[in-house]
């Protein structure tokens, strides 16, 4: 069988460049890699949500702690100011009494 004429190059390319069959197992390998990537993606998503949830809980705990501490401080402050007010009222009353006694003493003289 002799070689074809050179002019047939384009014709040969048109007729001869068919798609080759894919290697056996290519689809199986692709699907296996896809499953592995999907699992990794799911794992990454779960870890992300877990971290997000943990961060929210931590922020909530810290925020709650700070708020609770502030409330306690405010309560202590209020109690202290009430005590001061009571003390001032008592002192005021004592001063009033002393004032009254001094006034009486001055009248007697």
Partner 1 sequence: MSHDWQPDFEKLVDEHQSMIFSLAFRMTGDRGLAEEIAQDVFLELDRNLGRIESPEHALNWLRRVVMNRSADALRRQRVRGMDLWVEMDENHGATFEERPSPLRSRLEALMATLPSPQRAALVLRYQEGLTPDEIAATLDSPLATVKSNLQRGLKLLRAKAESHLKEFIRGT
**C-alpha span between 18 and 10 (Å, rounded):** 14
The CA–CA distances, whole Å, from 27 to 24, 36, 37 equal 8, 14, 15
Taking the least distance from each CB to partner 1, the nearer of 10 and 108 is 10
Residues 14-33 that bind partner 1 (CB under 8 A): 14-23, 26-27, 29-31, 33
Q: Per rule CB under 8 A, is residue 4 in the interface with partner 1?
A: yes
Strand (E) or helix (H) holding 71: helix 26-108
State the nearest-atom distance from the C-beta of 42 to partner 1, in Å. 14
Q: Per rule CB under 8 A, is residue 42 in the interface with partner 1?
A: no
Structure tokens at 46: 């779960």
Q: Per rule CB under 8 A, is residue 45 in the interface with partner 1?
A: no
- Answer for the pair 31, 39: CB distance below 8 angstroms, yes or no: no
Residues that bind partner 1 (CB under 8 A): 1, 3-4, 6, 8-10, 12-23, 26-27, 29-31, 33-34, 37
């Amino acid at each position: 069988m002799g070689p074809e004429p050179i002019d047939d190059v384009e014709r040969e390319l048109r007729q001869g460049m068919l798609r080759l069959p894919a290697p056996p197992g290519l689809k199986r390998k692709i699907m296996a890699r896809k499953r592995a990537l999907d699992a990794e993606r799911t794992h990454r998503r779960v870890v992300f949500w877990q971290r997000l949830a943990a961060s929210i809980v931590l922020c909530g705990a810290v925020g709650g702690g700070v708020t609770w501490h502030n409330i306690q401080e405010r309560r202590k402050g209020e109690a202290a100011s009430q005590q001061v007010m009571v003390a001032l009222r008592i002192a005021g009353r004592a001063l009033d009494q002393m004032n009254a006694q001094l006034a009486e003493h001055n009248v007697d003289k």
